[in-house]
Amino acid sequence: MLVAVGSTNPVKIEAVRRAFSSLWDVQVRGVEVDSGVSPEPVGVEAITGAMNRARRAMAALDADFGVGIEGGVFHLGGRYYCAGFVWIERRDGVHGTGTSGWFECPEGFLPSLLTGVELGDLMAEISGRAGIKREEGAIGYFTRGRVTRTDLYTHGVLMALSRFIADERWPG
């Protein structure tokens, strides 16, 4: 089974590999695609970006599944949170969605994030590491490695896979 990931970021590819290979024998390949959304999506824009990534990756590699993971900023209960939205689509058009765990967005980041500056760029500035978004990410930095970006996204991919894991148990 070929699973196409709409990104060449090794964190996203590894998260998809971990989740899918815990269930099936798969080959996971990343491909660069355009998300069609801003560099730091806010709210529903992250859902659109994840869907676009999944569909475009699946088409580009003629894969059995396409996976899109789009990090974004979400507003809930008067606060802003960072999370990854995941869209998984099977060749027949059936799709599942999920999110990674959410963590509260640092208030000092909000003015930049809400005007489209990518979280990875802000993290590169404060950590002094240009490639942090391709490594442990913001969550790894803030939790001092207790939770990495790969861990966070693996969880989100499993959440989006739940309808496929459930198979006939899935109502409707």
* pLDDT tens digit sequence for 80-102: 999 999 999 999 999 999 999 99
Number of domains in the chain: 1
Instruction: Please answer whether residues 68 and 50 qualify as being in contact, where contact means their C-beta atoms are separated by less than 8 angstroms.
Output: yes
pTM: 0.96
Instruction: Please answer whether residues 119 and 82 qualify as being in contact, where contact means their C-beta atoms are separated by less than 8 angstroms.
Output: yes
Q: pLDDT at residue 130 above 90?
A: yes
| DSSP classification of residue 115 | T
Q: Max Cα separation, the chain?
A: 49
Q: In this structure, what CATH number is given to the domain that contains residue 81? A: 3.90.950.10
End-to-end CA distance of the chain: 25
Range of the domain at 69: 2-169
